[in-house]
Structure 1
Amino acid sequence: MSDYYATLGVSRDASTEEIKRAYRKLARQHHPDVAGPGSEDKFKEIAAAHETLSNPEKRQMYDMGGQPGMGGAGAGFGFSDIFETFFQAAAGGGGSRGPASRARRGQDALLRISIELSEAAFGVTKDIEVETAVLCTTCQGSCCRPGTSPTTCEVCHGRGSVQRMARSFLGQVMTTTACANCSGFGSIITDPCTECAGEGRVRTQRTVRVNVPAGVDDGTRIKLTGQGEVGPAGGPPGDLYVEVREKRHPLFTRRGDDLHCTTELPMTAAALGTVLELDTLDGARELDIRPGTQPDEVVTLRGLGVGHLNGGGRGDLHVHVQVSVPTKLDEEQERLLRELAGLRSEERPEARLAPAGNGVFSRLREKFQGR
């Protein structure tokens, strides 16, 4: 059997008042809401010790070696009520904190927009239509029909809370709860606004302007502070988040702030070199193909990619060269190619083997990885 006197830290001849003071101190310290769930058993032990030692009959039985149960006049009052009682007393005797406000912050909203690759590269400003809650212009958020006002609650008399008597291990205590008649507001709207049905806000469509910065990536969310829904009773608005979705481009593939595309060349142009006119996001640009360009070689145009987000400059445009080999030759073309092969001693070229890791695709992978 537990030593209840040791549990409360009092002597065996302690007075009832000393036992109560010791219990209050330990209950505040070991309540699960303060010390965590692990202290629940300790708190129960303290409560049991107090219930036994504060009752003269149970204390006498305990002193004689008995083990009183937990039932009694104090049963039925929960740990949360005890905790509330202590802290209400510390705050000034358990008085009301005043009526709650009807005005509450509105919810945040999420909207998705689609943009072109060029808009992601250079930035864009878009006007978007949003269906959201706005302040009721009829009642201006008061929730009442114009010319009327809320009436004071007859139950709580405007306090928004009511007091009730409850029994605890300490005896009878006064607790405070929200008034059920007015939901804690302290007043009742008897004549609500017909435009918003007493909400203080209405749903409508409005136009919001969003600035999409250059360099924004697919899935990026842009926060528009205060552009979300207006709260009930004209409460402050939430925020609007605009999620950007980038459309797939028919020619260019984006990797970070760099763009990639492919151009196909005849083998003669790759061998002799040429100048191509290439359509870019900035318009037509010349692409210099040097003589001897190899298949899958990459030619880079600096500064023609996507703008850097929150910084100056732009990424690059990488053009991947594919060399086209003719599959059909007429007699004259075949003769000329055989003549060229003879001049280059390539009629029967020797096979040159290389490790698989040194192939074209490996070199491209290393280039992308910055090796």
Structure 2
Amino acid sequence: MKQDYYEILGISKNASAAEIKKAYRKKAIAYHPDKNPGDKEAEEMFKKAAEAYEVLGDPDKKAKYDQYGHAAFEGGGFGGGGMNMDDIFSQFGDIFGSAFGGGGFGGFSGFGGGQRRVKGSNLRIRVKLTLEEIANGVEKKVKVRRKVQASGVTYKTCSTCNGSGQVTKIQNTILGRMQTAATCNACGGAGQIMDHRPPGADAQGLTTEEETVSIKIPAGVEEGMQLKVSGKGNGAPGNGVPGDLLVAIETEEHPTLKREGDNLHYDLYISISEAVLGSSKEIDSVGGKVRIKLEPGIQSGKILRLRGKGVSSLNGYGNGDLLVHVNVWTPKELNKEQREFFERMQNDENFVPSPKKSDKSFFEKVKDMFS
């Protein structure tokens, strides 16, 4: 079972944004690869802390995590999970401050003594889902035009920084000689510059190609949620890291079913004769047509609950229910024979309303519906 993000950072759920950032910096410095060379356990803790901060440090992601837990980031990830070192240093390097050589992440030996791996830009797309796809989960294949490194492009070591990605300056101050390090302007911190650009490549040695990307969408997603497919954004020059593909979820309106959380609602209209005599009706569900039985004498406003026929819960707690709202349709126009029949029945004891204690009021039905 995945460890709680608050527990990883050692903070409470009521921690402020400043406290979250402070707790992450403390953990990141403690488990930084430079302080723990070759220590796989420390490296794992370093990654866990970064993953926790990526979620808790973002108000929107934090709100989803507080509501759904880790399930909010499964099936392609809504921003959390599976971070690698490139992601961590490119996103959060500034948090380390001067703790590691003035460049934030400059001393990490795995990156060439300060060399920064440039990350490509993210791509954003929208995917529209039917209610059936949302209820059961789906795998979508979409075509994406993304930048990738052109065939035949070559790079050489940057002569300005000699491949380190940083330039060092020494200044004389009243306190003595001060040494500072800054990102190399010539290569942008990558440590290398393009040596040969093939035809069709842009200034960064990239070309645009169309690729089919498979996106696994978990059951229970909602309108406005965003999934992240790591590494499927635009490429980066040299040994850079590709950006991510951000997938915004849109939902199509269903003709008969309305969603409310994990539950679905269906308005069933029946005639007076069906209400009096009872009936069998076929209705829509996300799993296909289902048949329900209406008992004789069913009242308008009755709510029938079909358990487990709703949407799969995003947090893995089973399925919601399908709530069928029974509405008895009253005709507005009657012929002579029909009118005479109802006039005769007006004072018949079987047609006089006589609700029992077991017949719940509207407010009781609403209360039951949300319980």
Tell me the TM-score normalized by structure 1.
0.59
Cα deviation, 1:39-58, whole Å, max 9, x if unaligned, reads: xxxxxxxxxxxxxxxxxxxx
Residue 173 of structure 2: which of 163, 168, 173 is its match? Answer: 168
Q: Partners of 2:249 and 2:163 in 1: how far apart?
A: 48
Q: Distance between the aligned counterparts of 2:339 and 2:190, measured in 1? A: 95
CA deviation map 1:55-98 (0-9, x unaligned): xxxxxxxxxxxxxxxxxxxxxxxxxxxxx9xx89xxxxxxxx98
1:314, distance to aligned residue in structure 2 (A): 2.4
1:306 aligns with 2:307: no
- Within 5 Å, which residues of 2 pair with 1:1-371? 101=115, 103-139=117-153, 142-143=154-155, 150=156, 153=159, 166-170=171-175, 189=194, 191-309=196-314, 311=316, 313-344=318-349, 360=362, 362-370=363-371
In the alignment, residue 212 of structure 1 is paired with which amino acid?
I
Residues 1:368 and 1:191: Cα distance change in structure 2 (over 3 Å): same
In 1: Cα distance, 2:307 partner to 2:189 partner: 65
| Deviation, structure 1 residue 248 | 0.8
Greater C-alpha Rg:
1
Number of aligned positions between the proteins:
260
Partners of 1:292 and 1:322 in 2: how far apart? 13
Secondary structure of the equivalent of 2:284?
strand
Cα deviation 1:195-228 (Å, max 9, x = unaligned)? 4245243222211001112222222222222222
Compared CA separation, residues 258 and 340, structure 1 to 2 (3 A):
same
Contact 1:138 1:195 in 2 (8 A): no
Q: CA deviation at 1:114?
A: 0.2
- Which residue of structure 2 lines up, in the alignment, with residue 94 of structure 1? none
Equivalent position SS for 1:277: strand
1:322 positional shift: 1.0
CA deviation digits over 1:261-287, x for unaligned, max 9? Answer: 111111222122111222333333222
Distance 1:138 1:100, change over 3 A: farther
Matched residues in 2 for 1:110 and 1:220: separation?
Answer: 13
Take 1:312 and 1:350, find their aligned partners in 2: how far apart are those partners? 42
* CA pair 283-172 structure 1, distance change in 2 beyond 3 A: closer
AA partner of residue 261 (structure 2):
G
Question: Is the alpha carbon distance of 1:273 and 1:110 closer, same or farther for their aligned partners in structure 2, counting shifts above 3 Å?
Answer: same
The alpha-carbon distance between structure 1 residues 235 and 289, as it changes in their structure 2 partners (threshold 3 A), is same
**CA-atom RMSD in angstroms:** 3.6
Counterparts in 2 of 1:320 and 1:169: CA distance versus 1, 3 Å: same
Deviation (angstroms), 1:235: 0.9
Q: Residue type of the partner of 1:251? A: T
Describe the SS at the equivalent of 1:283. Answer: coil
Return the alpha-carbon distance in structure 1 between the equivalents of residues 280 and 172 of structure 2: 94
Q: Which shows bigger deviation, 125-134 or 277-286?
A: 277-286
Instruction: Read off the aligned partner of 1:237 and give its amino acid letter.
Output: P
Question: For the residues of structure 2 that align with 1:228 and 1:135, how far apart are their CA atoms?
Answer: 12
Q: Which moved more, 1:98-107 or 1:110-119?
A: 98-107
- TM-score of the superposed pair, with normalisation by structure 2: 0.59
Q: Quick one: which amino acid aligns to residue 367 of structure 2?
A: E
Report the 3-state secondary structure (helix = DSSP H, G, I; strand = E; otherwise coil) of the residue aligned with 2:342: helix
Matches of 1:157 and 1:214, distance apart in 2: 50
Cα distance change, pair 173–120 in 1 and its aligned pair in 2 (3 A)? closer
